[in-house]
Structure 1
Amino acid sequence: MSKDDDMHDDKHVAPNDPPTTSETTTLGKMLRDGSLHHKAPQALRERLRDELANAERHAVAQETVSASSTSDVQREPRQDAKHEAKPETRPSKPAKSTGTEAAWGPSLAPWLFGGAGGAILGGLAVAMALLVTRPPAPAQVQDPVAQTGLQPQEIVSSHVRALLSQHPIDVISTDQHTVKPWFNGRLDYAPPVVDLADKGFPLAGGRLDYVGGRTVSVLIYHTDKHPIDVYVYPARDKASAAPMITGSDGYAIARWRRNGMTYWAITDAEPSHLRVFVEALQAAT
């Protein structure tokens, strides 16, 4: 072969010449039929799915801990430890969301129906049981002292103060027709005044005193040289109340309501004498 022949051949064979038709057809076919696409292994797909599920459960647990009480927070680590110690079972199919999760959301449903929700519902159940089983509170009966606004100690102080004064009686008279008119113009009410001399309790007179936040009439009777002071003023509660006899600081005290008036009687005599006096005064009024 001559030198010219070699140069002729080099002109027809260039390194940048396009591939043949058969080569182009084979490469295009591989791109179209997916021969160059490699599918991920099944183990890798399952591992990625498990990691996503664990991440979602961890986020839900964090929201539950932040919304639960202190006792629930203390119980959560033990529950999480159990979940960590126990290997996770790979689900064959993705878990489907229930109707509750669809309605309340994935973060609220575990909290409401999990440990925290059970504790709250249990507490509400106990509270309801206590309210149902607790017996009704007994009806409060007002004490006559509370109704009149007076305390026995006020009556004792007034009685002792009068005994120590130089004028324990403002109007001295055994006549009820003299004592009763004396209160006219001095009080905004007319106290009932009766003479009980025939019962052994003669009237000695009357005076004004200030007890229970107002000015009241005081009728003075005697029994065996023992004075009996009777405080009379309009009652707040118009209903009648039977006499109640008690003792305070060595004095016998009786209180009752009758005909729209409140009565307090006090003496240093025996309580039995005071009881007889109260019965006689009630019969006369």
Structure 2
Amino acid sequence: MNDDKTVSSLHSLLSDGSLYHRAPPHLRARVLAALPRQSRHPPWFSWRSLAIDHAPAWAGGGLAGVAASALVFGALALVQPPRTSMVGEEILSSHVRSLLSQHPVDVVSTDQHTVKPWFNGRLDYAPPVVDLAAQGFPLAGGRVDYVGHRTVAVLIYHYQQHPIDLYVFPAQGSISAPAAYAADGYSMARWHQNGMNFWAITDAEPEHLNMFVQALRTTQGS
């Protein structure tokens, strides 16, 4: 009887909508990276139901399932989600995955004339690649990623020991106003230029990212 009361009390507590908080996208990448490959999709855990639909995260029921879910919800309640667009959240996740990856760069080169041709045949557009070494932001290489339902170019620059990922893809539909903000310890900026959307993200200070953006925009012209 006591167990039934405990389960009922915990169920009522977990049903309180004020306990639900959406987890930031980088948390999923970190959790999956820490799990063994064969355990990355355990049957009792559904990230979509937990982080988006707020559905229960257990399948078998019972006190053990409720207790496990309580621990998960308790951890998520400590996290304040970033207020970015869906594309911004995807870029944040992509950047974190690259930092956790052993191969964050597909083509390693400081030469823009090596990096730019590498994208030929891998994309349906030609991303602009510029050399910013003189401005303090040397090119390190590039890679392709999947953002906003399409394959996009990612150029990797550095500021001292801090990588700066620059996502470049053709603008479609309405053009968003330029913006700069911080999300989960990362500085982010977005803008539109020469028919392309640009997103830059780094763990460097916001003023350093602003310097990078200004240098890039000046070099590319209007």
Residue 165 (structure 1) aligned with residue 117 (structure 2) = no
Report deviation, 1:165: 0.7
Quick one: which of 166, 174, 177 aligns to 2:110?
Answer: 174
SS at match of 1:151: helix
Residue 199 (structure 1) aligned with residue 139 (structure 2) = no
Q: Distance in 2 between matches of 1:153 and 1:191?
A: 22
Contact 2:170/2:195 (<8 A) preserved: yes
Residue 261 (structure 1) aligned with residue 196 (structure 2) = yes
Q: Which amino acid aligns with 1:263?
A: F
Quick one: which of 216, 226, 237 aligns to 2:162?
Answer: 226
Aligned length: 137
Report deviation, 1:238: 7.4
Report deviation, 1:164: 0.7
Against the structure 1 CA distance between its residues 214 and 270, is the aligned structure 2 distance closer, same or farther, given a 3 Å change threshold?
A: same
> Higher RCO, 1 or 2 (CA under 8 Å, sep at least 6)?
2
**Identity %, equivalent residues:** 68
Residue 273 (structure 1) aligned with residue 196 (structure 2) = no
Report deviation, 1:152: 2.0
Contact 2:142/2:153 (<8 A) preserved: yes
Report deviation, 1:228: 0.2
The higher radius of gyration belongs to 1
**Counterpart in the other structure of 1:11:** none
Q: Which amino acid aligns with 1:227?
A: P
Report deviation, 1:154: 1.2
Could you list the runs of 4 or more consecutive aligned residues of structure 1 that deviate by over 6 angstroms after TM superposition? none
Contact 2:87/2:147 (<8 A) preserved: no
Q: Distance in 1 between matches of 2:121 and 2:141?
A: 17
**Counterpart in the other structure of 2:120:** 184
Contact 1:152/1:248 (<8 A) preserved: no
SS at match of 1:247: strand
TM-score by length of 1: 0.46
Q: Distance in 1 between matches of 2:190 and 2:203?
A: 15
Report deviation, 1:242: 5.4
SS at match of 1:157: helix
Q: Distance in 1 between matches of 2:147 and 2:109?
A: 23
Residue 210 (structure 1) aligned with residue 138 (structure 2) = no
Q: Which amino acid aligns with 1:244?
A: A
Q: Which has the higher helix share?
A: 1
RMSD: 1.5
Q: Distance in 1 between matches of 2:177 and 2:110?
A: 28
**Counterpart in the other structure of 1:283:** 218
Q: Distance in 1 between matches of 2:174 and 2:124?
A: 17
**Counterpart in the other structure of 1:252:** 187
Matching of residues 71-150 of structure 1 within 5 Å: 150=86
Q: Which amino acid aligns with 2:98?
A: A
